């Protein structure tokens, strides 16, 4: 129950469409992905819709995104750096991420 220096990430070839779509199908998770569009973000800096979300819940959201291969989650000082895996997603599912990110927010 630690804070492992590095978490497992699927390789590009392992990306699975249903898992990716599922991870993106939650508004809260989708919102995180939208924030990462303009570049990596420290986990502490990414704002959630739910104001006082417990950290275990927040961590779980990130886990779903990471395990689907949508974000990379790396240790960075005391915290965590989140990066959108745009290139991997584009290589495996061309056009998918842009279509999702360009979709109307409401």
CB of 55 to DNA, least distance (A): 4
Say which DSSP state 69 is in.
T
> Could you identify the residue written with the tokens 């006082």?
52
Total residues at interface with DNA (CB under 7 A): 31
**Backbone phi, psi, residue 71, to 5°:** -125, 155
Q: Which token pair is 32? A: 């995180």
Distances (CA, A) of 72 to 23, 42, 77, 81, 84: 14, 11, 16, 8, 6
The CB-of-17 to DNA minimum distance in angstroms stands at 14
**In terms of CB distance, is 79 or 98 closer to a second copy?**
98
Where in 21-60 is the site for a second copy (CB under 8 A)? 21-22, 24-27, 30
27 part of the interface to DNA, by CB under 7 A: no
Binding residues (CB under 7 A) for DNA: these are 1-5, 7, 22, 26, 28, 42-44, 50, 53-64, 73, 75, 77-80
């Amino acid at each position: 129950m630690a804070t492992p220096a590095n978490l497992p990430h699927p390789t590009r070839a392992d990306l699975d469409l249903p898992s990716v779509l599922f991870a993106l199908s939650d508004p809260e998770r989708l919102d995180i992905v939208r924030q990462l569009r303009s570049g990596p973000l420290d986990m502490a800096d990414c704002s959630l819709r739910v104001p006082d979300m417990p950290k275990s819940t927040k961590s779980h959201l990130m886990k779903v995104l990471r395990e689907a291969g949508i974000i990379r989650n790396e240790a960075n000082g005391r915290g965590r750096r989140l990066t959108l895996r745009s290139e991997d997603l584009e290589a495996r599912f061309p056009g998918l991420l842009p279509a999702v990110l360009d979709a109307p927010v409401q």
